Amino acid sequence: MTKLYELLAVEKTLNTAAKKALSMASSVFGDGRLLKGSLISFHSVLEDEPAIPDETILMTSTVKMTLSDAQKDMVAFIDVASQKESTNSKTSGIVEINGIQFLGAMPAPALLNLESRLEEVRRMYEGIPTIDMTEQWEFAADQGVFVSPPRKRIRTKKVMRNHTLAAATKEHPAQVQVYQEDIPAYNVETTITSGMLTPVDKASRLARIDQLAREVKKARIRANDQDITDNQIGEEIFAFIDGV
């Protein structure tokens, strides 16, 4: 008995062949010359007139021949597609994590869709930024973020100062030098917060996504280990269409 996974292995090839057959038939039907032939014969009415050979154009195909060729590939694909969809309704796979049921029974198409969604989820998680591990972080549970130790520094301001170079005399005024001096104005304390993940946390999440994706794939394979519903409907369809 044919298994569902065997149909899935050939479905794409049969689909390609069916599309090609339809395209070729449409091409033949679109060029009327391929469905026509002719024979031109020359019969002399004069006694001494030389004979002229017949001119023959062979007919390449007929509508019935073209349909027959196309229908072979179409029947094969229609039957496989019908069998797949009919059998899919009966498929069932259970996703397990570490041998314990994680998700309930799901049909094969749903499991295949879940595989694709998990690939998208993984790409999102791959882009998660991680905290700078050179910093001494502490996790503030009340805020749900990482907090760094306070960084302390002094902020200064410039003030003008006078320095007397020479005292005033009767003859000369005092010589004074004006200069700037930086003096402490503020004690500055900086604390950094981060809502990123640690590299270990990110790696653990990615590992769990990969584990789940593997188990979903296994469940899909188990679901596809199903005897097919042996529908043979392609020939019936074309027999009705052609009025046979």
Could you give the CA distance from residue 61 to residue 57 in angstroms, rounded to a whole number? 12
The pLDDT tens digits of the residues spanning 96-127 come to 999 999 998 899 999 999 999 999 999 999 99
The pLDDT tens digits of the residues spanning 211-237 come to 999 999 999 999 998 888 888 889 898
Range scoring the smallest mean pLDDT among 86-90, 122-126, 194-198: 86-90
Could you give the CA distance from residue 147 to residue 69 in angstroms, rounded to a whole number? 73
pLDDT of 199? 94
Which whole number is the average pLDDT over 150-177? 85
Residue type, 8: L
pLDDT of 207? 96
pLDDT of 77? 92
Could you give the CA distance from residue 75 to residue 238 in angstroms, rounded to a whole number? 8
DSSP 8-state code for residue 227: B
| Both structure tokens of 222 | 């188990």
What mean pLDDT, rounded, does the chain reach? 90
Residue type, 229: T
pTM of the model as a whole: 0.70
Place 90 in a pLDDT band, splitting at 50, 70 and 90: confident
Domain positions in the chain = 4-122+204-241, 150-190
User: Is the pLDDT confidence value at 153 over 80?
Assistant: yes
pLDDT of 19? 93
pLDDT of 200? 94
Which whole number is the average pLDDT over 161-185? 84
Which whole number is the average pLDDT over 149-178? 85
**Crossing angle (nearest 10°) for helices 108-126 and 199-224:** 160
User: Is the pLDDT confidence value at 201 over 80?
Assistant: yes
Tally helices (H) and strands (E) across the chain. 5, 9
User: Is the pLDDT confidence value at 240 over 80?
Assistant: yes
The pLDDT tens digits of the residues spanning 21-79 come to 999 999 888 887 888 888 899 888 888 888 899 988 888 888 889 989 999 999 999 99
